[in-house]
């Protein structure tokens, strides 16, 4: 009985220490800007191929951060050829024009919901094989530390995407990483012509 209590206490101290280390790393990462975001379409296609998920099955769930321009830009990059896209955000109106255009041009119904944990849990519980959570929050924002069980979880800013030599990129997926091939040509413009920057900046 005594040793059982000791073991339980040791486990608690270990996991608390690991959590504190992770939180310290996240605090240090607050100023991190992902330099590979412009290659997101190419990167996601490779991740899906390695996970044996077709683009037709791909059903991304976006967790929007405080700066919604990143999620909007990524939605533009990934939206073409999708059958389903879900965005959880504190600024639903920000994505209205995008949703309207995607439906008119591609027939895609982009579902936009107010960001809350209950809704996220509901979506994940009903999600199929192609569900991939793309987290655009930065350290300290919103939901913070989230566990997604067997779903693919890709933090865009909470963990660094590292160069793995040559053009290879190490992309964090949950607690693991996956190596994908990057490109010498990087997109740097955060807005497409049809989604004028002024429109979105004036939304809020």
Domain annotation covers residue 21? no
Average pLDDT on 168-194 reads: 76
Q: What is the pLDDT of residue 166?
A: 86
Portion of the chain with pLDDT greater than 70, in percent: 71
d(CA 75, CA 33): 18
Is 41 among the domain residues? yes
Residue 93 structural domain: 31-201
- The verdict on residue 10 lying in a domain is no
Give the per-residue pLDDT at 196.
46
Q: How many domains does the chain have?
A: 1
Does residue 139 sit within a domain? yes
Q: Give the model confidence (pLDDT) of 20-58 as tens digits.
A: 455 455 545 556 789 999 999 999 999 999 999 999 999
Q: Any idea which of 58-62, 94-98, 150-154, 176-180 has the lowest mean pLDDT? A: 150-154
Distances from the Cα of 131 to the Cα of 22, 53, 66, 97, 184, angstroms:
25, 10, 23, 24, 29
Among 54, 58, 98, 96, CA closest to 75? 98
Residue 75 forms part of a structural domain: yes
pTM confidence score: 0.78
Count the Cβ atoms, other than its own, within 10 Å of residue 57.
16
Residue whose tokens read 């809350």: 116
Kind of pairing between the strands at 110-114 and 85-89 = parallel
What's 67's domain CATH number? 3.40.50
111: in domain: yes
What's the mean pLDDT when you consider all of the chain? 81
Contacts (Cβ under 8 Å, ≥6 apart) of 54: 48, 130
Residue 23 lies in a domain: no
Nearest to 170 by CA among 61, 76, 35: 35
5 found inside a domain:
no
């Amino acid at each position: 009985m005594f040793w059982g209590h000791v073991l339980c206490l040791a486990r608690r101290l270990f996991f608390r220490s690991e959590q504190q280390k992770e939180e310290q790393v996240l605090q240090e990462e607050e100023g991190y800007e992902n330099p590979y975001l412009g290659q997101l379409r190419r990167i996601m296609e490779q991740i899906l191929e390695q996970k044996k998920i077709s683009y037709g099955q791909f059903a991304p769930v976006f967790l929007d951060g405080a700066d919604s321009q990143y999620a909007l830009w990524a939605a533009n990059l990934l939206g073409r050829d999708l059958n389903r896209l879900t965005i959880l955000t504190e600024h639903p109106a920000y994505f209205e024009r995008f949703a309207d255009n995607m439906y008119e041009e591609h027939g895609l119904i982009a579902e936009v919901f107010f960001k809350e944990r209950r809704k996220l849990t509901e979506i994940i519980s009903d999600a199929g094989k192609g569900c991939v959570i793309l987290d655009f929050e930065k350290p300290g924002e919103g939901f913070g530390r989230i566990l997604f069980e067997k779903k693919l979880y890709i933090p865009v800013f909470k963990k660094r995407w590292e160069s793995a030599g040559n053009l290879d990129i190490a992309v964090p997926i949950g607690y693991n990483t996956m190596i994908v091939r990057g490109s010498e040509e990087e997109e740097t413009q955060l807005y497409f012509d049809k989604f004028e920057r002024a429109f979105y900046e004036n939304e809020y």
